[in-house]
Amino acid sequence: MSSKKTESAKPLIIVESPAKTKTLKNFLGDEYRVEASMGHVRDLPEKEFGVDLSNGFTPKYETLPERQDVLKKLAEAAAHAPEVYLASDPDREGEAIAWHLKEALRLQNARRIEFNEITRQAVQQALQQPRDIDMNRVNAQQARRILDRIVGYKLSPLLWKKANRNTLSAGRVQSVAVRLVVEREREIEAFVPEEYWTIIARLTPDTEENAFDATLRLRDGEKLELHNEQEASAVLQELEGAQYVVQKIKRTERKRNPSPPFITSTLQQEAARKLGFSAKRTMQIAQQLYEGVELGAQGSIGLITYMRTDSTRVAAEAQQQARDYIGREFGNRYVPEKPPQYRSRGGAQDAHEAIRPTSVARTPESVKSYLSKDHYELYRLIWQRFVASQMTPAVLDVVTVDIQAGRYIFRATGSSVKFDGFMRVYVEGKDNGELSDEERPPLPPMLEGQVLTLLALLPEQHFTEPPPRYTEATLVKALEEKGIGRPSTYATILSTIVERGYVELKDKRFHPTALGIAVTDYLVKHFPDVMDVQFTASVEQQLDEIEEGKQAWTEVLRAFYEPFAQRLAETEKNGEFVRIEAKETDYPCPTCGAKMLLREGRYGKFLGCSRYPECKTIVNVTRSGEPVPPDKPSDEVCEKCGSPMVIRWGRYGEYLACTNEQCKAHRPLEKSTGITCPACKQGQLVERRARKGKLRGKVFYGCNRYPECDFTLWEKPVGRTCPKCGSLLVEKRTGKRLTIACSNKECDYREEPSAEAQALAS
């Protein structure tokens, strides 16, 4: 038996993230060298188009500047390794990353391996079955990237020109998602509510404790609709003194089947419903659960399978493991005769698996002490959904009772659980609060012909309601149902359309902005194909066919580009501009008293007088659209002229401005945290706002000795150090949720904040 291999003589496995390297090393030991590429290493250039349209859509790839050192390290490792295995994620993007690594490192004999879960068995099986890089997959990903570059790079400058603002962007998929939100808003605006009335009879067979509600349904055997108060009052008059008799009792036994195990879209939907997570947050947490979490003496363990999937398929071994667990924990009645099979939607990649725990035996409670609250909640959701999906259906007794009152029939429905089946573990959430027949409480015992006691007749006025605005859950569901995007893109789509200012999230529902409406209308008029839902879905199907080897990727690009380029040229020539509607407000003009209008210009929102051009008064607004507050005095003096400085509100928040109109000096407002800088041990951390680039206006925390010390944090420090690694602890905020976490990305320490801090956060 030879001694341990030297580092240079070991086979090299290249994964995407440091977390994966940690998990793989945990069970591969010293037999392999495992390094991380840190994700993508090459891409199209940032500041130029990068696609040769006249030469078969040849892309010009460049090494990402931040990956230069990584590639150098990987090249040195690969030069001495007897074998190199490319182990990026098991999807198109992962295949493309593997290809880019092979090209950038000039690897001749590198082999591709993939695994759906980061476990000892899965990785060892993958190492025994290496393969060549699948160029059909790579080309499908290249086609997607180039399509998105064509639309983004060609349409965005047009929007800059036509809207007179250079902050706009268009996207092949994001623009269609915005269109869905805009069209839903117009449905709501155009909706005319219709009045209707219901009449509920509160009845009991004996005591008030057994009271139940029955809804008026029929008159003379015909369905009854009450349109106004007069019609309802007429019915109530007829019912005065009526006897309420049980006419018919119908008992049925209904089976309720479990939901399939999660795919990406359903995980995002359910995490939004039950946990209040955004799609982006869900995927970040799921990524960490997949790549590996430290479980004490066990080391780093991958807790779930790959989380970007549209397949509900489950490996036979995983199903058997679940069946064994279910039988042991709940009894054989809960184990179905055969393992259930769930149908994936059309176009799903069934080589993948559904999202499931890598080991059912690793219950949520058994790992809870090692996980943060967010990690625990999402893991429990995935574990429960998977286990429930492998259990027997629930059986419910549903009782429907028809009650006669003269010429009228009232109906009541109740249910009771005869056998809980999968419901013992998990029940899927809903997007609305309406109860199905199976979810109604049980009715008291009754007999046909029995006379009931009327406790009250309750008429109630209603109005039909417009379709609801999209939530994150329902928008993801709509994107999936319409074939827009793919599992790996949903979270990015939703975050992008908010960040670009095309939609806003208010009370967890998407509202289009005036900008979003204007840009959507313009693009729909001039680029109907790009904005067409069915066309966008057909492009996704063509990308699938490229992956399957049924279409050439360059032909798909050519078929898209030629009509698009022609329409682009025509639109550039016409003089039509993007018209952004102004919104009336209740704020009076400080000059003439007329109402101010909320407008959007090239530099963002502002209030302008409704009497423009007679009155040209404008007022800056905060991000929420309110007038900026007046200047506040400060203790600071101007470094240039010595005049007092005031705290003034600007586009990106508060800043210090000189009161001397001739000087006009200004500087960022720095709020001290009172925390010593951990890097230089001399300065203090102060709150600042980024002044350049895409993050302009974003709050960060840096040393007040800058530029001598350039230490920075994007999250607010809490003034304590991590008990695991000694780095600063910071606040991690997602919506109204607050957790305390280590600022060191390699450390997974988390803790719950105090009740007072959590209350302040919400």
Catalytic residue positions, numbered: 306
Given the structure tokens 């108060």, which residue do they identify? 229
- The pair of structure tokens assigned to 662 is 């001739």
CA dihedral (521, 522, 527, 531) in degrees, to 10, reads: -30
Which of 546, 516, 541, 544 has the alpha carbon at shortest distance from 531? 516
Q: Are 463 and 194 in contact (CB under 8 A)?
A: yes
If residue 418 lies in a helix (H) or strand (E), which one and from where to where? strand 408-419
Residue type, 641: C
DSSP state of 589: P
Element (H, E) at 283: helix 279-291
Number of Cβ atoms within 10 Å of the Cβ of 63:
14
Q: Is the peptide bond before 707 cis (omega within 30 degrees of 0)?
A: yes
Cβ atoms of 444 and 210 within 8 Å: the answer is: yes
The span from the CA of 392 to the CA of 419, in Å, is 10
Does residue 302 sit in helix, strand or coil? coil
User: Measured over all CA atoms, what is the biggest interatomic distance in the chain, rounded to whole angstroms?
Assistant: 98
Of 673, 708, 702, 675, which is closest to residue 689 (Cα–Cα)?
A: 702
Residue 639 to residue 667: CA distance in whole angstroms: 10
The pairing of strands 62-63 and 42-43 is: antiparallel
Question: What SS3 state is found at 284?
Answer: helix
Give the Å distances, CA to CA, from 286 to 275, 293, 378, 426. Answer: 13, 11, 7, 19
String of DSSP letters for 370-410: GS-HHHHHHHHHHHHHHHHHTSPPEEEEEEEEEEEETTEEE
SS (H, E, C) 428-453: CCCCCCCCCHHHCCCCCCCCCCCEEE
Burial of 91 (0-12, 13-18, 19+ CB in 10 A): buried
Q: Cβ atoms within 10 A of the Cβ of 102, count?
A: 22
Alpha-carbon dihedral 50, 53, 59, 60, rounded to 10 degrees: -40
Beta bridge partners of 649: 654
DSSP labels for 613-661?
A: TT---EEEB-TTSPBPPPPEEEEEE-TTT--EEEEEEETTEEEEEES-T
Q: Rounded to whole angstroms, how far apart are CA atoms 692 and 735?
A: 25
CA gap 239, 264 in Å, rounded: 53
Q: Is the peptide bond before 668 cis (omega within 30 degrees of 0)?
A: no
